[in-house]
Structure 1
Amino acid sequence: MKESMAQLLAVQQLDRKLMRFRREIRDIPARKEALDQEKASAEERLNDIEQRQRQNAAEQGNLESEIESLREQIKRYKRQQLDVKTNDEYRALTHEISAVEQKISQLEDREIELMETAERLNAEHREARERLDDEEDRIGAEKEALDRRLEEVQRDLDEVSARREEKAAKVDKRTLAHYKRIFDNRGDYAVVPIENGVCTGCHMKVTPQTVHDAQAAQKLVACNYCGRLLYVPADHRTS
């Protein structure tokens, strides 16, 4: 049974490596997806600025058309002034011209605001474009590194899997199946040492008889609390 325990410990060491490799393989797609999300955020930022630029340009275009239309209206009023017969009609047209000129002035003020906004948006666009370019370079490099790492981990996993099969073939099938059920259930260790009378898997104190049986190694000994298989390390054995 001492030999079986040594074999199980060797299998467990490889199983834990495989567990780490599989976890990393599972995590790599999620890490790449997170990088894609970072890129998407930078693209969304740039698209938002470009949308605001289009809206700003459209409003400027509408203002220019409106201002031009109002200026044409002033020209018509002035031509009409040449044909009026009374001072009241002339003053009425002068009043209309003044109102239109005030409207134009307000629109031109708004046009200046839009031009200032356009300058700010242009600066933001340059910054966002540069940031996106930098993000694309960084993310591309990181994804390539993750792809290389995935290949490396897959090779390591295949190699360790083969070694694990060799080690497992030396273990009694019933003992191996018992070990595997515990390992799969616990997800960390199936075989743990007893130290100072305590199961190092669940950190509960075991009975002296359990310690004695684990040290004797005549049979598989399980912790009464967590069910893990127990052994006593050579440097903790008593004569």
Structure 2
Amino acid sequence: MISQKQQMVNLWGVYNQQEQHNKYWILLYFYLLKTCKYYLSLGNYKSREIKLTAHEEQKVYQKFRNELIADSIKIQKYIEEHLKDTYIKTWESTLKNIESNTPLPSLKEIYEDINKVWVGDKNFKDRQAHNTKIIENKLHDLLLDESLDIEEKFLQAQKIIGDYRYMIERLVRTETIHTMGQASIKCMIKNNIGYVQWITCMDERTCIICGARDMRVYPINVIPQYPDHPNCRCLLLPYKLF
């Protein structure tokens, strides 16, 4: 196997490359703000001009809700493709680390791996849908609140949509590191590597649990929960006892 330092460089290269794709969420944030402002303005305008009934206000909101849900479905697909690419790149990087040429799993196997529930009772698609529902409910209550004017609603909507963007970023980052772990472990098992070394990214953001696991060696079949928390940045490297 190549040096530990080079192994870390190879795997972090995959993570950093995939992080570049997350600029997508910045565009999403501004798109949702623009869309929200449009429907707020539309509802405000119609309310003043033709005195919208509560039912008509619901219809204006429903149009916004439909766009939010349609975008959420697109996001699920985007994340799935992102994780597929992450899996493939991690497998290739792990092969470099252990100096092997084991064939990549089939696309069917890869999609099955990334769509599995690995913590709690939801996979990434379920979590994205759940997060969207939370935001949808918050925006529903805000947009139909008669006690607030359009400027106040928009300011509050900015925070809610900002929270939504953070939820998506956290989900993608966590699923990315989990996918990297799954691909690495499967590749190592295929190559008869029985141990992994837990490498923690040590800085001011490092949690106590991950800090305590840094450099520890685990049998590949008894690795602690990985990742152990959202936004984890730890790596699992192949390890030979002798």
Bigger fraction of residues in helix: 1
Q: Identify whether the pair has TM-score above 0.5, normalized to the shorter chain.
A: no
TM-score (norm 2): 0.28
Largest Rg, 1 or 2? 1
